[in-house]
Amino acid sequence: MSVARTRRRKKRFAQESEQNLTPLIDCVFLLLIFFMVTTVFKQPYRLQVELPQARNAKEALEKKLVASITTDGRMEINREPVDQGDLEQVLLREKQSTRSLTLILRTDKEAKHKWVLFILEAAKRVGVDTILLATEDEKDG
């Protein structure tokens, strides 16, 4: 009788000591999904602009209000394509949403001067205080 009793105890002990890993796997899976969803990916600019080079450049601390111009005159404000007629309204809206008084102007090095002046005048009309010109660092050759 005692042998049967010890066998039952061993069997019960083996069943009780077995760990269920299903909740652990569920938690790991949920954490994986959480981190995948909350990760912010850097979005590349839509307009491909070849920036001019600069020797004495300073980095802007606040990069919220960005205008881009291509050689053919296409424009973007904060990666949003803009027509010439809507430029002032979009610039004002983005200025108010970002609360930034600084405009970073990214222009292609072959862009016409009239497009740059067009954005500069629109920025002045909507109350932008500072305009920074984006450049590339000069490569040491």
The domain limits of the chain are 2-38, 53-137
Identify the CA nearest to 77 among candidates 88, 62, 66: 66
Check whether 139 has a pLDDT greater than 70. Answer: no
Instruction: List, for residues 70-97, the tens digit of each pLDDT value.
Output: 888 888 888 888 888 888 888 888 888 8
- pLDDT at residue number 141: 42
Q: How far apart are CA 119 and CA 136, in angstroms?
A: 20
Instruction: List, for residues 95-138, the tens digit of each pLDDT value.
Output: 888 878 888 888 887 888 888 888 888 888 888 888 888 766 66
- pLDDT at residue number 44: 63
CA dihedral (43, 46, 50, 55) positive or negative: negative
Q: What are phi and psi of 106, to 5 degrees?
A: -105, 110
- pLDDT at residue number 37: 84
The CATH code that applies to domain 53-137 is 3.30.420.270
Q: Which residue has the higher pLDDT, 2 or 60?
A: 2
Question: At CA 71, angle to CA 116 and CA 117, rounded to 5?
Answer: 10
Instruction: List, for residues 17-73, the tens digit of each pLDDT value.
Output: 677 888 889 999 999 999 888 887 666 666 666 666 666 666 655 547 888 888 888
Identify the CA nearest to 92 among candidates 106, 78, 105: 78
